[in-house]
Amino acid sequence: MTFDRRWARSALATLLAAGALAACSTSGSDATPKTTTTVARTTTTAEPDRSTTSTTEAAATTTTVPGAKELDWKDCDGGFECATLEVPVDYKDPEGDTIALALARRPATDPSERIGSLLMNPGGPGGSAVDFIEGSPLPSELTKRFDIVGFDPRGVGRSDPLDCRSHLQEIYQVDPTMEDQADKDAYLKASKAFVDECAKKYKDLLPFLGTVNVARDMDEVRKALGEEKITYVGYSYGTSIGQQYAKAFPTHVRAMVLDGVVDSSVSGLQAAAGQAKGFTRALDNFVAACDANDCGLKEPAAQVIDEVIADAEQAPIPAKRAGRPATPGVVALALGQALYSETLWPQLARALQQAATGNGNGLVGLADQYLQRQPDGSYPNGFEIYFAVSCLDSPWPKDPNEVFTYAKLVAAQYPRVGEALVNDYVRCALWPGKPQPVTPLTAAVKGLPPPWWSSAPPATPPRPTSPA
């Protein structure tokens, strides 16, 4: 996630002004900034299948919160301070096992003008808020008046991270499109190996990794910071954290901006279909821009994409430098990575042209970016925490064949990305335990007015869709 300066001007900067609010959207390839302003002590929130939500109240104050745990801040790189906060694994058993949450903070540069703490989350599930705030340039008007705070959600990054990804490479070497029973068997075998590893290592932790508990963790962070109210900015999945927090702790929200809002009113499969729609729209935008601006492809972009997908289905495309071929799963990941941002379109065009000549290195490179593969061949834990959270936050069928059948229906509407994207979630059909679905933030929450709608990025599309 990169910080968009248009968004800074129209949303973040106005959080500085008491009683003023702005909301806009960074929507990947088809972003259109939108701004609205409200009078003092009003709140505006986006319905969860829209991109941007904003709520604002009176200025935050720093207080001594009864029962709060004291943070032992230590200097870390780049002018940041770091600390850890112990929170219960299970809030119904506060004296039981704990998780150590990693926090980072950049204190306000003008203490005399300080408003309070601004918490941020970049999305995911699996994004490290600590890494995000340490690597994101923010407007000086903001950093002067807010302590910028990030905490890695439970199981993410430095917060007792999950580590059960030894089968990750195997998963993306099998074909995510199901042509026959052999394809299903291979895909299920790889997916089951991943799920079984996670369940074996983290049996007692997995039921407590959902977003409802992350929202409770955020309130523990608020208390430890000594804030009566917090200001919060969340992107994509970070909007789900924000919604659950606003529902559970509305009196502790000073201001909230949610960008790329997750729709939690639909099933997991319906949400996946909505993602397929969003990515298809983004891919269509890439195709149009590529053809209009001579992006370097020797044939029309749609034709090249279809041929590359077909070639990978026929046989993985060699990638000698990468040391791993571009399988259909790798092609799907590469497309997904590039469609999050127009800045990656030139890289996608080069990768497609290479692949059209039998060189899959560029596609493997994009897929590695998506999975954040490190130079030593290791991966961070975004993959496993993504499914640990996603499989808890939504209802899913328990029969993998229901996922495969639904994926075929989605593929009929969105043939380039639909089947691979939906089949990814077969792991949720195999996931142990019972889901704990989150519910959307609505005007029914006391003090929150009707929602405001905007546009959305491909991973959190404006309207979830169902092929059924």
Domains, the chain, in order of start with CATH, read: 5-161+211-259 (3.40.50.12270), 168-201+267-371+397-430 (no CATH)
Dihedral angle, C-alpha 47, 48, 53, 57, nearest 10 °: 80
What pLDDT, on a 0 to 100 scale, did the predictor assign at position 178? 85
Say if residues 175 and 329 touch (Cβ distance below 8 Å): yes
Q: Report the DSSP beta bridge partners of residue 87.
A: 99
What pLDDT, on a 0 to 100 scale, did the predictor assign at position 444? 65
Secondary-structure percent of the chain, ordered helix, strand, coil, rounded to 5: 45, 10, 45
* More confident site: 103 or 456: 103
What pLDDT, on a 0 to 100 scale, did the predictor assign at position 155? 96
Question: Is the confidence at residue 51, as pLDDT, over 70?
Answer: no
- Banded model confidence at residue 316, pLDDT cuts 50, 70, 90: very high
What pLDDT, on a 0 to 100 scale, did the predictor assign at position 450? 43
Q: Report the DSSP beta bridge partners of residue 84.
A: 102
- Banded model confidence at residue 93, pLDDT cuts 50, 70, 90: very high
pLDDT, tens digit (0-9, with 9 covering 90-100), for 176-191? 988 889 999 999 999 9
**Alpha helix stretches (DSSP H) within 249-327:** 268-292, 301-314
What pLDDT, on a 0 to 100 scale, did the predictor assign at position 179? 85
R_g (Cα) of the chain, nearest Å: 22
Among the listed residues 196, 223, 202, the one whose alpha carbon sits nearest the alpha carbon of residue 154: 202
| Among the ranges given (65-74, 122-131, 154-163, 285-294), the one the predictor scored with the smallest mean pLDDT | 65-74
What pLDDT, on a 0 to 100 scale, did the predictor assign at position 69? 81
Average the pLDDT over 45-68 and give the result.
48
C-alpha–C-alpha distance, residues 167 and 383, integer Å: 11
Average the pLDDT over 285-300 and give the result.
94
pLDDT, tens digit (0-9, with 9 covering 90-100), for 400-442? 999 999 999 999 999 999 999 999 999 999 999 899 999 888 7
C-alpha–C-alpha distance, residues 198 and 111, integer Å: 45
- Banded model confidence at residue 464, pLDDT cuts 50, 70, 90: very low
Q: Buried b vs exposed e over 123-154: b needs ≥16 C-beta within 10 Å?
A: bbbbbbbbbbbbeeebeebbbbbbbbbbbbbb
Q: Report the DSSP beta bridge partners of residue 121.
A: 234
What tokens were used for 344? Answer: 């990656």
pLDDT, tens digit (0-9, with 9 covering 90-100), for 252-274? 988 888 888 888 889 999 999 99
* More confident site: 454 or 78: 78
What pLDDT, on a 0 to 100 scale, did the predictor assign at position 461? 54
Q: Report the DSSP beta bridge partners of residue 118.
A: 148, 231
Average the pLDDT over 341-358 and give the result.
96
Share of the chain above pLDDT 70, in %: 80
Count of other CB atoms within 10 angstroms of residue 68: 17
Among the listed residues 244, 253, 160, the one whose alpha carbon sits nearest the alpha carbon of residue 436: 244
C-alpha–C-alpha distance, residues 15 and 2, integer Å: 19
User: What is this structure's pTM?
Assistant: 0.84
pLDDT, tens digit (0-9, with 9 covering 90-100), for 209-258? 999 999 999 999 999 999 999 999 998 899 999 999 999 998 898 888 88
Question: Is the confidence at residue 17, as pLDDT, over 80?
Answer: no
Share of the chain above pLDDT 90, in %: 62
In whole numbers, what is the pLDDT of the chain averaged over residues? 83
pLDDT, tens digit (0-9, with 9 covering 90-100), for 127-173? 999 999 998 888 888 899 999 999 999 999 999 999 998 888 888 88
What pLDDT, on a 0 to 100 scale, did the predictor assign at position 377? 85
What pLDDT, on a 0 to 100 scale, did the predictor assign at position 290? 96
Q: Using alpha carbons only, give the angle 278, 267, 264 rounded to the nearest 5 degrees.
A: 75
What pLDDT, on a 0 to 100 scale, did the predictor assign at position 402? 96
- Banded model confidence at residue 460, pLDDT cuts 50, 70, 90: low
